[in-house]
A = this chain, B = another copy of it.
Amino acid sequence: MKAWESNIRKVVPYVPGEQPKNKKVIKLNTNENPYPPSQKVTEALHRMETEGMRKYPDPAAQQLVDAIAHTQGVKPSQIFVGVGSDDVLAMAFLTFFNSEKPILFPDITYSFYDVWADLFRIPYECQKLDENFQIRKEGYLKENGGVIFPNPNAPTGALLPLEEIEEIVRHNQDVIVIVDEAYIDFGGITAKGLLQKYENLLIVQTFSKSRSMAGMRIGYAIGNEELIKYLNDVKYSFNSYTMNNTAISLGTAAALDQEYFEETRQKIIATRERTKKEMASLGFTFADSMANFLFVTHERVKAKELFEALKAEGIYVRYFNKPRIDNHLRITIGTDEEMDTLFDFLRTYLKKH
């Protein structure tokens, strides 16, 4: 090791899903929305001018914050925005998880949580999902330095009932409980209603899935004003201006088009329900997903083998080579046409294997 290397923070980074260059690929591997952003976003893009780009953007991204607050029915002072929900979550880890006690999250969950904990040297303890891949609330009632879980959980898609979320939040009023609702718009019930009762709850959502805006990097947190202020203090200590001009303008347009949002999320929910039936008839089992993906395992064919066969066919899904889930595939819900291509391939493949 070189002398200058000794003080370097060494980490094992999160590995994002592949972004194949070939446009013909059917991309069911990163939980993106198969539909383009709202027409209002296109109109906002066409209205944009470069003249104003010489100046710093509004550090508070007030226009975007106001639009999200309006859509969510909360005060603007209850909204924190960031460069995707990953940025929001990273800031929340840095702001809220400073105890010497371990934070708690599921053993099978969004694979960024342990990466952030390692990055910020936060102790953590994983709580096992039950054998049906459901979160067991009992795991989160012990002493801890904070709690985080996605609802619906990723990559399982399973939803935790609101009563159980409330029990976790109520039992942990001395720490912050973060509910990561990246996939909530596909049929789950948001925990937002609990915000009036519990000051220690932070909810994180994103424009990347249900708003078709993964490429613009917009996420947000909803919480009580005090939590949001603490988050903003840390954000302003990290980077004053995180949201660029285009993210503010296009994000605002996306937030305000509730009609298109409703239309596309209902389409995805319908396709998902159809996909469940097709996949079950093909011999797959899965938790009852309320997200825009299914987490499936086949009664006979190994996940790894199927993953490779699908990839060779130009159909990308996600395979995690991790304990307990290394015989599962996470399949994003695409358009009906994309799913039909998947079903056709699987029917043929499974006959032969």
Q: Give me the interface of A with B, judged by CB distance under 8 Å.
A: 2-17, 19, 27, 30, 32-37, 41-42, 45, 48-59, 83-84, 86-87, 90, 94-99, 115-116, 118-119, 145-146, 173-176, 199-200, 208, 212-217, 226, 230, 232-247, 250
Contacts and interface: CB of A to CB of B under 8 A. Distances in A.
Contacts of A236: 13-16
A213 B14 contact: no
A195 B86 CA distance: 33
B244 A55 contact: no
Interface centre among A50, A174, A226, A242 (most CB of B within 10 A): A50
Nearest to A38: B50
Given A3-B173, A3-B174, A9 B94 contact: yes
Counting every copy of the chain, the complex holds 2
Nearest to A208: B56
B246 A214 contact: no
Nearest to A58: B19
B54 A213 contact: yes
22 contacts: A4-B176, A7-B145, A7-B176, A9-B95, A9-B230, A10-B233, A16-B241, A19-B55, A27-B55, A32-B56, A36-B54, A42-B50, A45-B48, A54-B214, A56-B208, A86-B238, A86-B241, A87-B239, A87-B242, A116-B237, A216-B244, A217-B241
A95 B50 contact: no
Contacts of A34: 54
Contact of A119 (B48, B52, B96, B234): B234
Q: Tell which of A12, A27, A234, A240 has the most Cβ of chain B within 10 Å.
A: A240
